């Protein structure tokens, strides 16, 4: 072994020459080689090999550390004996076949970067040289490399098989490679230190010197990561991101600063189109209504955002919001018809009855203390929204408006609250780490156990009905439609191409129900809380609503009466304009495109973020100060505002499917509340407003008095 390790240098030189010869030859070919099946097979073999090697090497390293200590682990070459010795030898030999992945890149005419072939060539020579001299630090290098390669080749195999993975996984593997090299250098430096201290370490000074060359490689990797993931792209302006954190620390987002305020500051400084880095996640913010209109009306170029889809899939893997293409159409054909206004207005009495329950609870407090300040309005609004959606969507009493749960959350609300907190925690975390976190989080498991119990009870209640009853109610009931669409043979449907699948699997139904539960409580509840806050701060507006109600709803409450409340429509529009339920939405480009107004060139794969709250507060598109809460703007100067100046539920073919239900539900609830009570300002200390950014944007401080009329 000592006599022929230098042959690896010859192989490395031949490898590099072959790369350039191969690339030149491929440029002369008319077509590239696909080789997808071979690539899947090859990477799968290397994944299995690396995993097996990790299973054989890592336990020995852990045992050595536990029983002999750190110094022994880097100075004694005993790992070369027995089974670990075999896998150390196989590790060295594997550096030859690992270079074959370069062959795939060349033959498939893909981009080949310098660091790729430099890494293969230098590591191959270093491994053969180190093995020849039985370097004791090898146990660390072998164990780490097997672990990293298990993930890396597994990722390559999945990508080759066209299995979609979060973008950050690629970045994570690159970072793991970097960490591996840094630890390797630290191990060699430690070995050098112990040799200087007189320890007998089976590693030569020459080997340690070579490790200094690897430090240069590390620097190259750092530069590569910085240039690829933390550097402004092209000519689009933006703030230069920090390593790993992007713009999150610079802007104060990490400390809770409202994203809407951050985006407005960026817009003032950089214009309507700019770059923003949420850690390593790169986005292009578009704040011009004309460009936004272009994005939403060109659905063949701008598909549902990968970032949004990847993150939501962690929690709602098969729900409508996470689907694209044929799978989206399959789900949409079942769900979308039930959210049209004609199917919704029949639920007027349900909404009124639930609202009256909340009013009864408020009256109990007011009767005891007329000046009582209500501080839990957000929770109560979400309880109300959830109760209403339970009846409308599931024909099920979720009991969130019972007396015992009015001032505290029942089990379901507690579980949903925990679920949403976990959802927020996972937003800045890479997808694969989020999945690991969910696996080990007892809080998440407990929340999902509670939610699953409710969902299964909802499904069971519906399944107790006869097939005839379910079929009869499918056109008007969401839960009946979902249960009626359950696949009869899930295994058979699973093997069909997506375009040929019919109905939904039980897993898909549960994910849809979970999404509806969350959206049913969060979105409408947050808007209703903002309405109450704005009414407490604007008695003039509240008085005008009551005057309109007195004129048009003197006898009961009907659909026609509700439709006649024009000023209340303006109030709802203004609440949604002032604080859209969500801060924005994303789109991913499926082809290169140029924005028509800003003339910004975008490229396939770019992630575009449309900040809804910034569009609705841009003074260039509103004649009356957009920072002023003024519902009358919609019947005067701003009646003909830009169509995309206020799009609280998004736009295009992927806008919120529940917006008709939300608008109707909000209008009925607001009408009922304004018929019965007047909201007062609880004081600057408790009713200061501000923003809390959760799944939706809710008031940070809201404390109001309630006077029954």
- Is 310 domain-assigned? no
Q: 326 and 183 share a domain?
A: no
φ and ψ at residue 204, rounded to 5 degrees: -85, 160
Contact 384, 355 (CB under 8 A): yes
Q: 454 and 342 share a domain?
A: yes
Residue matched to tokens 């498991």: 445
298 as an active site residue: the answer is: no
What confidence score (pLDDT) does residue 166 get?
A: 67
Q: How confident is the model at residue 468 (pLDDT cuts 50, 70, 90)?
A: confident
Tokens of 77: 């070459």
What confidence score (pLDDT) does residue 404 get?
A: 47
Residue matched to tokens 């990477």: 43
What confidence score (pLDDT) does residue 191 get?
A: 84
395, pLDDT greater than 80: yes
What confidence score (pLDDT) does residue 212 get?
A: 65
27, pLDDT greater than 90: no
d(CA 535, CA 702): 11
Q: Please report, to the nearest 10 degrees, the dihedral formed by the alpha carbons of residues 451, 453, 459, 465 taken in order.
A: -140
Give the residue from 165, 200, 229 where a domain finishes: 229
Contact 130, 207 (CB under 8 A): yes
Q: 423 and 572 share a domain?
A: yes
Q: DSSP E strands: which ranges in 14-110?
A: none
418-447 b/e with 16+ CB inside 10 Å = b? bbbebbeebebbbbbebeeebeebeebeeb
State the sign of the Cα–Cα–Cα–Cα dihedral 272, 275, 279, 280: positive
CA distances to 333, 400, 652 from 578, rounded to whole Å, are 33, 28, 21
Q: 220 and 344 share a domain?
A: no
Contact 138, 123 (CB under 8 A): no
What confidence score (pLDDT) does residue 228 get?
A: 66
Give the residue from 229, 251, 277 where a domain finishes: 229
Contact 661, 344 (CB under 8 A): yes
pTM over 0.75: no
Give the residue from 229, 260, 276 where a domain finishes: 229
Q: Which residues 6+ apart lie within 8 Å of 295 measured at CB?
A: 286, 302, 587, 595, 608, 610, 652
214, pLDDT greater than 70: no
- Is 256 domain-assigned? no
pLDDT tens, 41-59?
Answer: 999 999 999 999 999 999 9
φ and ψ at residue 501, rounded to 5 degrees: -70, 150
Domain that holds residue 565: 317-580+616-708
Q: Is 185 annotated as a binding residue?
A: no
Contact 7, 120 (CB under 8 A): no
- Is 609 domain-assigned? no
Q: Which residues 6+ apart lie within 8 Å of 117 measured at CB?
A: 15, 16, 19, 102
Q: How confident is the model at residue 384 (pLDDT cuts 50, 70, 90)?
A: very high
Please indicate whether residue 63 or residue 207 has the higher confidence score (pLDDT): 63
What confidence score (pLDDT) does residue 597 get?
A: 92
Q: 223 and 339 share a domain?
A: no
What confidence score (pLDDT) does residue 229 get?
A: 65
Q: 324 and 423 share a domain?
A: yes
CATH number at residue 530: 1.10.630.10
pLDDT tens, 117-161?
Answer: 777 888 888 888 777 776 788 888 889 999 999 998 998 898 888
Q: 214 and 337 share a domain?
A: no
- Is 368 domain-assigned? yes
What confidence score (pLDDT) does residue 532 get?
A: 96
Q: Which of 526, 575, 532, 577 is nearest to 695 (CA)?
A: 526
d(CA 657, CA 659): 6
Q: Span 464-485, mean pLDDT?
A: 80
pLDDT tens, 423-454?
Answer: 877 776 767 677 778 888 888 899 999 989 99
- Is 273 domain-assigned? no
Query: How many other β-carbons are positioned within 10 Å of the β-carbon of residue 661?
Result: 27
Q: Looking at the chain, how many residues does it have? A: 709
* Range among 309-313, 553-557, 594-598 rated most confident: 594-598
Q: 440 and 575 share a domain?
A: yes
Q: 208 and 356 share a domain?
A: no
Q: Span 359-376, mean pLDDT?
A: 91
- Is 324 domain-assigned? yes
β 373-374/302-304 pair status? unpaired
What confidence score (pLDDT) does residue 405 get?
A: 47
Q: How confident is the model at residue 671 (pLDDT cuts 50, 70, 90)?
A: very high
Residue matched to tokens 């852990």: 62
Which of 67, 68, 116, 119 does the annotation list as catalytic? 119
pLDDT tens, 238-294?
Answer: 998 887 778 888 898 888 888 889 999 999 999 999 999 887 788 999 999 999 999
| Percent of all residues in the chain with a pLDDT value above 70, rounded to a whole number | 94
Q: 330 and 187 share a domain?
A: no
Q: 224 and 369 share a domain?
A: no
330, pLDDT greater than 50: yes
| Percent of all residues in the chain with a pLDDT value above 90, rounded to a whole number | 32
Lowest mean pLDDT among 159-168, 508-517, 636-645: 159-168
205, pLDDT greater than 60: yes
- Is 658 domain-assigned? yes
**How high is the mean pLDDT of the chain?**
86
Q: 225 and 331 share a domain?
A: no
- Is 586 domain-assigned? no
Count of domains in the chain? 2
Q: Please report, to the nearest 10 degrees, the dihedral formed by the alpha carbons of residues 204, 210, 212, 217 taken in order.
A: -150
């Amino acid at each position: 072994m000592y006599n022929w390790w230098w042959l690896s240098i010859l192989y490395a030189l031949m490898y590099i020459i072959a790369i350039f010869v191969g690339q030149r030859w491929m440029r002369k070919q008319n077509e590239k080689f696909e080789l997808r099946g071979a690539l899947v097979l090859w990477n799968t073999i290397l994944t299995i090999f690396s995993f097996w090697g990790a299973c054989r090497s890592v336990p020995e390293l852990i045992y050595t550390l536990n029983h002999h200590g750190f110094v022994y682990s880097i100075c004694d070459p005993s790992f070369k004996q027995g089974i670990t010795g075999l896998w150390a030898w196989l590790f060295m030999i594997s550096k030859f076949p690992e270079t074959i992945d370069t062959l795939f890149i060349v033959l498939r005419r893909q981009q080949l970067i310098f660091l790729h072939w430099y890494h293969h060539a230098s590591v191959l020579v270093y491994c053969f040289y180190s093995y020849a001299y039985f370097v004791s630090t090898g146990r660390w290098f072998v164990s780490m490399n097997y672990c990293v390669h298990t993930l890396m080749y597994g990722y390559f195999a999945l990508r080759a098989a066209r299995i979609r993975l979060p973008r950050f996984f690629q970045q994570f593997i690159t970072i793991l490679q970097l960490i591996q090299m840094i630890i390797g250098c630290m191990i060699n430096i430690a070995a050098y230190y112990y040799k200087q201290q007189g320890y007998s370490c089976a590693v030569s000074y020459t080997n340690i010197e070579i490790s200094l060359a690897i430090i240069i490689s590390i620097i190259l990797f750092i530069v590569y990561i910085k240039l690829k993931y933390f550097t402004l792209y092209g000519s689009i302006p933006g703030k230069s991101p920090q390593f790993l954190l992007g713009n999150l620390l610079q802007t104060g987002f990490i400390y809770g600063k409202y994203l809407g305020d951050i985006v407005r500051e960026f817009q003032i400084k950089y214009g309507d189109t700019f770059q923003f880095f949420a850690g390593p996640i790169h986005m292009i913010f578009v704040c011009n209504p004309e460009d936004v209109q272009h994005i939403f009306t060109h659905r063949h170029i701008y598909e549902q955002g990968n970032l949004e889809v990847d993150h939501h899939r962690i929690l709602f893997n098969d729900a409508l919001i996470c689907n694209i293409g044929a799978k989206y159409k399959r789900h949409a054909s079942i769900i979308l018809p039930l959210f049209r206004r004609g199917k919704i207005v029949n639920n007027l009495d349900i909404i009124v009855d639930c609202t009256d329950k909340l009013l009864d609870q408020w009256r109990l407090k007011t009767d005891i203390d007329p000046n009582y300040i209500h501080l839990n309005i957000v929770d109560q609004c979400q309880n109300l929204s959830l109760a209403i959606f339970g009846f409308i969507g599931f024909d099920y009493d979720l009991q969130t408006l019972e007396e015992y749960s009015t001032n505290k959350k029942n089990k379901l609300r507690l579980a949903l609250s925990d679920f949403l907190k976990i959802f927020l925690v996972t937003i800045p975390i890479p997808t694969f780490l989020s999945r690991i976190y969910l696996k080990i989080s007892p809080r998440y498991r407990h929340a999902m156990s509670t939610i699953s119990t409710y969902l299964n009870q909802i499904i069971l209640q519906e399944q107790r009905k006869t097939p005839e009853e379910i079929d009869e109610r499918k056109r008007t009931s969401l839960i009946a439609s979902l249960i009626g669409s359950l696949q009869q043979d899930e295994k058979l449907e699973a093997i069909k191409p997506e375009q040929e699948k019919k109905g939904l699997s039980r897993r898909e139904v549960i994910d849809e129900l979970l999404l509806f539960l969350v959206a049913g409580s969060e979105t409408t509840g947050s808007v209703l809380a903002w309405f109450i806050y704005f009414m407490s701060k604007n008695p003039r507006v509240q008085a005008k609503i009551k005057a309109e109600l007195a004129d048009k709803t003197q006898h009961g409450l009907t659909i026609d009466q509700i439709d006649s409340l024009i000023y209340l429509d303006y109030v709802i529009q203004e609440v949604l304009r002032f604080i859209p339920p969500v801060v924005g939405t994303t789109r991913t480009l499926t082809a290169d495109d140029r924005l028509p107004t800003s003339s910004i060139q975008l490229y396939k794969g770019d992630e575009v973020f449309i900040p809804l709250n910034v569009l609705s507060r841009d003074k260039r598109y509103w004649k009356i100060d957009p920072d002023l809460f003024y519902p009358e703007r919609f019947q005067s100067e701003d009646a003909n505002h830009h169509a995309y100046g206020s799009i609280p539920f998004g736009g295009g073919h992927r806008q919120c499917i529940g917006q008709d239900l939300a608008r109707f539900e909000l209008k009925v609830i607001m009408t009922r509340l304004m018929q019965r009570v007047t909201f007062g300002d609880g004081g600057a200390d408790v009713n200061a407003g501000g923003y809390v950014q959760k799944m939706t944007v809710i008031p940070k401080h809201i404390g109001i008095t309630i006077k029954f009329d």
